[in-house]
Every structure is written in structure tokens, then in C-alpha cells.
Amino acid sequence: METEKKKTALSLIQPSGTITLGNYLGAIRNWVAMQEEFNCIFALADLHTITVRQEPAQMRKNILDAYASIMACGIDVEKTLFFIQSHVTTHAQMAWILNCYTQFGELSRMTQFKDKSQKHADNINAGLFTYPALMAADILLYQADLVPVGADQVQHLELTRDIATRFNGLYPNVFKIPEAYVPKTGARVMSLQDPTRKMSKSDENVNGCVHLLDPPEVIMKKFKRAVTDSEAVVRYGEGKDGINNLIDIYGAVTGLTREQIEKDFDGKGYGDFKTAVGEAVVEALRPIKEEYEKLRADKAYLESCYRKADEIAQRISQRTLSKAMKKIGFVQ
């Protein structure tokens, strides 16, 4: 799984609900594509999810659903490490260490913290605030070169680079400085109901977010109800956030450019376009759903996959943790 020459690509996703079309187009699709060229390490960031309250039975279900969904998207556990974060003890240990090398001011500037503390004003816990230090630990433990993420995670990645650079300045050669790897199309999929906000699992309006496992008729309904504008021309432009988002989604699933899409829908109305986008998304997700049903039914197989990966992840990450602790001055 690990080779000498290949660069390491690493990324995690929160299993805090079913995987969304945004997660797929912004991140997972890239993960799948990177498996040949890179030494790939992916994981479910379940420790991150408890920064927001979770219902225990639902949380257990979400984790297994997410594991099976991501495998169904095309993550091949024979060549890629795909583990569960909370099963690998080094993440929480390294997060504590990195907390002590991360500044209050840096964490205060994180837009995700500001957004989430507005959304959950009754529970602005310390974990929500120090979340980026755990994310930095996830990445730096594995000496990752590239981190395939959607545009919303770039700020966290920049902070990871700052923390690693600061740490290396004090204790040379501990961490590799990673780079973000953001896709050209699908990097920021917006809500279908409020296209000025990113599509998110926690969207209060269920019609704003398409889930990978939504039945085809639900997907079609969500696209047909998508918020647009009154111009009724399928063209990319300012003040047309809804149509811009639909054009980008259509482009991401069909591979067509914005110009080609505008040409194909010249003279056609929004109704036709929304139907075409819905159908294209349904078709793209159909094989994933079929594979998911098969995988999810075999709990023992899923468990054997993550247990194997957890063990390897523990071993790889322990090397970096031990090195960092030694340099800091802990007794070995």
C-alpha cells in the first residue's frame, strides 16, 4: 500500500449524515481518481463530528453508511488505506500536541468556526474551536503531500501548513508541508435552495441538499424545485447564483464546459434544464447506489476492511507521533 516513489494523498470526511453531492463532486470523486497515481490514505473523521451533538444510535449507523458509500464510490481498499479516525489513537494525541503550537488568534479567524458557532450558539464548545488542530494532526501524521478537498477546506489547510512550518522551525524536519488539491469542477457545490451557501448535510431546508443515497424521484424533485432567477436564460452570469450552480453541477457530472452547456440549452427554458441536470445526476449516482446496497448488507466484510486499515494507519502515524514527541522532550 505504501510505496517509496509515489506521493501521498490524504483526506478525511465527517460521517455526520449521509454523503452529499457536494462531498462527492468536491472531494470523493477526486479521491477515486487519485488511487492509481498516489499512495492514498482516506478516513472517516468521526472524532470531528462530536463537535456538534450526535444521537448515539444514529451516529453508529452514519459511520457504517458512510464507510459503505465511499467504498461504493470506488475507493478500493486493496490499494488504498481507508480507516476510521477514532480507531487510531495517534490522532487525538497529536491533536493535543498541535493545540499547543496553534494560536488563539489563528483559530478565531476560521470561517467554519464562525459559521458553526452561529448555527449552534447554545454549544460553542472548545472542540469546535480547536477542530483545525485535529485536522492538522490527521494530515501531518502521515506526511501527506497532497490533500484533495473542496474549496471550503482550503482555509483549514493553510492553517495546517502554518502550524507545520512553525513546528518545523522549532524542531527541524518533523512534518512534510502539505498542499491542497482542489478540483476544477465541483469544488463548491451550492445549496439548491440558497445558492449563496454551500450545499451541506446540515442544511435546514431538505430540498437544498442532494444526498448520494436519495432515491431518483427525490433527486428529480429537488432539482425541479431548485431556486433560479427570473431571466429564464441558461447562461452563466452575475446575480444568477442558482443557474450558475446548476450549470456547474451539470458540467461536473457530464464533463461538458460552461460554453457547451449554454449552447446546448440556447432557447430552452429553466424547466428543461433542471430536468436535464436532475437526470444526469441520477445517472451518475445509479451505479454507486447499487454497489452501496451490496456492501452495506455485509457488515462483517466492512468490519474486516476497516480493522485492517486501522491497524496499518496506527503503525504509520505512530512513527511521526514518536518523532515529534522525542523532539519536544518527552521521555521515550
Of 150 and 242, nearer to ligand TYM (C-beta) is 150
We find the least distance from the C-beta atom of residue 152 to ligand TYM, in angstroms, to be 5
**Helix H or strand E encompassing 42:** strand 39-44
User: Is 201 an annotated catalytic residue?
Assistant: yes
Q: What are phi and psi of 152, to 5 degrees?
A: -65, -20
Tell me: does residue 14 bind ligand TYM (CB under 6 A).
yes
- Site of grid cell 457488515: 299
Binder of ligand TYM out of 8, 9, 13, 241 (CB under 6 A): 13
Least CB distance to ligand TYM at residue 332 (A): 28
Q: Which of helix, strand or coil describes residue 237?
A: coil
Chain residues 86-145 in contact with ligand TYM, contact rule CB under 6 A: 135, 138-139
The reply on whether position 222 binds ligand TYM by CB under 6 A is no
Cell of 20: 452529499
| Cβ nearer to ligand TYM, comparing 89 with 304 | 89
- Decide whether 117 or 233 has the Cβ nearer to ligand TYM: 117
Q: Which residues, in sequence order, are CB contacts of 314 under 8 Å at separation 6+?
A: 87, 88, 89, 90
CA distances for 307 relative to 60, 90, 310, angstroms: 16, 16, 5
Q: Please state the closest distance from residue 14 (CB atom) to ligand TYM, in A.
A: 3
Q: Is 294 a catalytic residue?
A: no
According to the binding rule CB under 6 A, does residue 23 interact with ligand TYM?
Answer: yes
189 binds ligand TYM (CB under 6 A): yes
Residue, CB closest to ligand TYM: 26
The DSSP secondary structure of 69-125, one letter per residue, reads HHHHHT--TTTSEEEEGGGSTHHHHHHHHHHTTS-HHHHHT-HHHHHHHHHTTT---
Binding residues for ligand TYM (CB under 6 A): 11-14, 22-23, 25-27, 45, 48, 135, 138-139, 147, 149-150, 152-153, 156, 187-189, 198-199
